[in-house]
Amino acid sequence: MKKGGAITLTVVLALSLFVILFITTGVRDDAAECLPSGGGGSSTAAGGVPAGSFAKPTKTTESTLSSPFGEREGTMHNGMDLAAPVGTPIYAYADGIVTQAGPATGFGQWIVIEHNIAGQIVSTVYGHMFPDGVLVKAGDHVTAGQHIAGVGNNGQSSGAHLHFEYHTGPWSSSNAIDPTPFYDAAADPGTGQSGQSPLPAPSTSPPPAPSPAGGTAEMAALPGSVGSEDHWQVDTVRVARAVHAKFPQISRIGGWRPGGGGYDDHPSGRAADIMIENWSSEEGKTLGDQVKDYLWANRDYLQIEYMIWRQQYIPSTGESNTMEDRGSPTANHFDHVHVTTIGHGMPTPGQTYGPIPGGTGSAPKAAGNCTTAPGAGLGDRADLAAGQIPPEFQPWLTRSAAQCREVSPAILAAQLKQEAGFTPGLTSPAGAKGYGQFMPETWAAYGFPVDDNGTVTGPAGAGDPNDIGDAVMAQGRYNCSVADTLRPGIESGSITGDPVELMLAGYNAGPGAVQQFGGIPPYPETQNYVTTITANASNYDLAR
């Protein structure tokens, strides 16, 4: 309960000023960065091609070949130039992942996309766009025919054109090949035709086991109680076996399924999901980090293309980044470490996998600070466990959780359960009222009336603490205010602990008490409050 005694009049006035600024300016910029968003590019009827097809990077009706691949003025021209007016749409050649997008020497701006085609990694490069002509960012998943950029005349260029390259493997200045046959076999964007790839079929001979990176004994097969190796390609089997040997406490490794949500990682057998039990606990987070770092340190040996853990996309080459919020802990990869390998085909009789790798190191940290809490990322009603929450609360939990990164629908639900058990009309002996058990002075600063969409319609204090919308929005609003108050201390190190737990402690005892003790105050009520809510949050998470 918000006892209020730990909040002085000065703090209340300061927090009231914050709320006025919040209402005036909307959700904070750093919170907005963590809200759901998709890739910047678009897949439209004008550029789309059938699934699994290949698209020319510009339409033949809108561009002309101005310079082919090969020797040019004494130097090697690693691509083909397609002259077109500034702003002419540029399309992705094939499904893939953007590994580079932005400034590049010589190109002005470029985009590099990695593709898995017939079990082989290839890369395509698009160059000379202006900065505002780049529509995707590193880490985005794109599809063939997706509009990713506009033609420009940036960098070392004498006229508006697209410079298009094709590389056999992850991008390197030494592995470019003539893109002409790939361009010729691809479909013209928007025609509905199915483009082809002239890549030869992958070899059916088993790829050799990699060089030893640890011991000398061959890795043991994955026990059936942990997972099945059926349908996995060679590199994926190797990853699963290595993880099982290194982390015997992991009880489940999955990954193959016929549907991939538009991506071929799982259906093709190139992806494994390392499931993390108690993923929302500190022990679970630590275990997931250890798995991620182990795989990163041995990424070359294990032939890993990329990983995802706790919403962080970590490619083996290129920069890591924070992914868009996909709406649930499972979709955001909070409860498992996703690993996509290069693949190298299905195992054959006598297939060997090599010894257990022993490399150590730490994976790079992604840009951004969207560190979230148990149950974080729950972005819609379907992600809250059915029957656990009164249905009239569900949409409000989602709306309120969007106010800052520290809160989630599951945390808010557990907090409401702790405060008043979703029961209206309660008043505590200390005078706290309503669903969120707000003290009158705190409600006067945060209790705004809201309409059906959560938009404020009146002054602070004019809301009803027994109205679900007013109460739940105020609950999230006050949580976010406490988190804002504590954030500078957390960042400076004067306050230590999990940001969500500290927020809950501040909600219960007041942020001043958290600041005074440099962490969760030693009050039995507050410590029980934090422990109970964080533990119960998982009850409202459908993924568990």
The per-residue b/e assignment along 237-263, b for 16 or more CB within 10 angstroms, e otherwise, is bbbbbbbbbbbeebeebbbbeeeeeeb
Residues ≥6 apart with Cβ < 8 Å to 37: 324, 325
DSSP letter for each residue of 101-147: EEEETTTEEEEEEEEEETTEEEEEEEE---GGGB---TT-EE-TT-E
Instruction: Based on the fold, state whether residues 469 and 395 are members of the same structural domain.
Output: yes
Instruction: Give CA–CA dist 51/39, Å, rounded.
Output: 18
Instruction: Based on the fold, state whether residues 128 and 246 are members of the same structural domain.
Output: no
Looking at the domain assignment, is residue 273 inside a domain? Answer: yes
Question: What pLDDT tens digit does each residue of the chain (544 aa) get?
Answer: 444 433 333 333 333 333 333 333 333 333 333 333 333 444 444 566 776 689 999 999 999 999 998 888 778 899 999 999 988 999 999 988 998 998 888 888 999 999 888 667 889 999 999 887 899 998 888 888 999 999 999 888 888 999 999 998 888 877 888 999 899 999 888 777 777 777 654 444 445 555 545 555 788 999 999 999 988 988 999 999 999 999 999 999 998 877 655 567 888 889 999 999 888 777 888 899 999 999 998 888 888 989 999 888 898 877 788 877 666 678 888 889 999 998 888 888 888 888 888 877 788 776 544 333 333 333 333 345 445 788 899 889 878 887 776 788 888 999 999 998 999 999 988 898 999 999 998 899 889 999 887 888 888 899 999 999 999 999 999 998 898 888 888 878 899 988 889 999 999 999 999 999 999 999 999 999 998 888 887 666 543 3
The pairing of beta strand 161-167 with beta strand 70-72: unpaired
Looking at the domain assignment, is residue 119 inside a domain? Answer: yes
Coil vs helix vs strand at 111? strand
Looking at the domain assignment, is residue 4 inside a domain? Answer: no
Instruction: Give CA–CA dist 497/132, Å, rounded.
Output: 41
Instruction: Give CA–CA dist 508/530, Å, rounded.
Output: 9
Task: Kindly report, residue by residue over 33-54, the tens digit of the pLDDT.
Answer: 333 333 344 444 456 677 668 9
Last residue of some domain: 339, 369, 399? Answer: 369
Domain total of the chain: 3
Instruction: Based on the fold, state whether residues 285 and 331 are members of the same structural domain.
Output: yes
Looking at the domain assignment, is residue 192 inside a domain? Answer: no
Instruction: Based on the fold, state whether residues 360 and 212 are members of the same structural domain.
Output: yes
What range does the domain containing 166 cover?
64-185
Last residue of some domain: 369, 400, 415? Answer: 369
Distances (CA, A) of 491 to 372, 486, 496: 15, 9, 9
CATH of the domain at 406: 1.10.530.10
Six token digits for residue 518: 């440099």
Other beta carbons less than 10 A from residue 535's beta carbon: 13
Looking at the domain assignment, is residue 59 inside a domain? Answer: no
Looking at the domain assignment, is residue 53 inside a domain? Answer: no
Cβ pair 405, 372 in contact under 8 A? yes
Instruction: Give CA–CA dist 56/164, Å, rounded.
Output: 10
Q: What is the pLDDT of residue 36?
A: 30
Q: What is the pLDDT of residue 348?
A: 84
Helix (H) / strand (E) element for 275: namely strand 271-275
Cβ pair 401, 375 in contact under 8 A? no
Instruction: Based on the fold, state whether residues 310 and 170 are members of the same structural domain.
Output: no
Instruction: Give CA–CA dist 93/147, Å, rounded.
Output: 10
Q: What is the pLDDT of residue 490?
A: 85
Cβ pair 134, 119 in contact under 8 A? no
Instruction: Give CA–CA dist 56/66, Å, rounded.
Output: 16
The pairing of beta strand 70-72 with beta strand 141-142: unpaired
Cβ pair 235, 303 in contact under 8 A? yes
Six token digits for residue 266: 């799982």
Six token digits for residue 322: 């924070």
Instruction: Based on the fold, state whether residues 359 and 431 are members of the same structural domain.
Output: no
Instruction: Based on the fold, state whether residues 19 and 87 are members of the same structural domain.
Output: no
Instruction: Give CA–CA dist 317/299, Å, rounded.
Output: 10
Looking at the domain assignment, is residue 44 inside a domain? Answer: no
The per-residue b/e assignment along 338-366, b for 16 or more CB within 10 angstroms, e otherwise, is bbbbbbbbbbeeeeebbbbbebeeebeeb
Instruction: Give CA–CA dist 476/494, Å, rounded.
Output: 25
Task: Kindly report, residue by residue over 92-111, the tens digit of the pLDDT.
Answer: 999 889 989 988 888 889 99
CATH of the domain at 131: 2.70.70.10
Instruction: Based on the fold, state whether residues 237 and 207 are members of the same structural domain.
Output: yes
Contacts of range 11-15, beta carbons closer than 8 Å, 24 or more positions apart:
11/510, 11/511, 11/512, 12/441, 12/442, 12/444, 12/445, 15/445, 15/446, 15/481, 15/485
The per-residue b/e assignment along 114-141, b for 16 or more CB within 10 angstroms, e otherwise, is bbbbebbbbbbbbbbbbeebbbbbbbbb
Instruction: Based on the fold, state whether residues 303 and 346 are members of the same structural domain.
Output: yes
Six token digits for residue 340: 């996509």
Looking at the domain assignment, is residue 86 inside a domain? Answer: yes
Instruction: Give CA–CA dist 508/2, Å, rounded.
Output: 5
Q: Is 282 exposed, middle or buried (0-12, 13-18, 19+ CB in 10 A)?
A: exposed
Instruction: Give CA–CA dist 517/495, Å, rounded.
Output: 8
Instruction: Based on the fold, state whether residues 259 and 289 are members of the same structural domain.
Output: yes
Degrees, nearest 5: CA angle 333-335-340: 45
Instruction: Give CA–CA dist 334/311, Å, rounded.
Output: 7
Instruction: Based on the fold, state whether residues 361 and 489 are members of the same structural domain.
Output: no
Instruction: Based on the fold, state whether residues 266 and 326 are members of the same structural domain.
Output: yes
